[in-house]
Amino acid sequence: MECRARVVKKTLPWSYMGTNLFRDRNLFVLYVLAAGANIFNFAGHGGWAVSGKVAFAELITGSLESTLGIIMPVETALGLVRFVGWIDLTIAAVMVLALIGVWKGRGSLARLARSRTMVLLFVWAVFWGLATAFSRVTAHDFETIYLLDFIERGGNFFGATIGLYLTLILRRIRGST
């Protein structure tokens, strides 16, 4: 009597990734994690900004005053904050579309995912992450303790840097196929 063990293959979320742009599970998972971090970052900050978070306006007014000597009313800064919030929400939406493109592996969203537009978007995200993190220092007249606020927000710009790096890999893969 021969006994054969039946192997049950578990279906994991990334088992459906046969057609993703990376063709590599590890890079795909890394892209999903980086995209998620960036999408949540921009959607969260954008949502707060659109709702008129006064603390964001105070970062602008404090930074302008301590670095350039320009005094801006908080109400004026709130208008700017809301405008930037809509831009952040738009960036988050474009990043969602690029993530879908990487996952599907073909079509217009895949072209978006490896486009120059996404490279520029991630370059902007790195810059914006650094600028907004450093605004915590400049808004408080460069007090040393606020460097901790900058350090704490390292994930914002390092997450964007990872997204940029993976997008550049996608562009290189396209060129080699």
C-alpha R_g of the chain? 21
Q: What is the mean pLDDT of the chain?
A: 89
> Could you please report the per-residue DSSP string of 42-104?
HHHHHHHHHTT-HHHHHHHHHHHHHHH-----HHHHHHHHHHHHHHHHHHHHHHHHHHHHHHH
pLDDT band at 1 (very low <50, low <70, confident <90, very high): low
pLDDT band at 69 (very low <50, low <70, confident <90, very high): very high
pTM, to two decimals: 0.83
The arithmetic mean of pLDDT across residues 150-164, rounded, is: 94
pLDDT band at 176 (very low <50, low <70, confident <90, very high): low
pLDDT of residue 22: 85
Number of H helices, E strands in the chain: 7, 0
Q: Give residue-wise pLDDT tens across range 86-144.
A: 999 999 999 999 999 999 999 999 999 999 999 999 999 999 999 999 999 999 999 99
CB within 8 Å of 84: residues ≥ 6 apart: 46, 49
pLDDT of residue 23: 82
CB within 8 Å of 90: residues ≥ 6 apart: none
- What is the percentage of the chain residues whose pLDDT exceeds 70? 88
CB 126 within 8 A of CB 161: yes
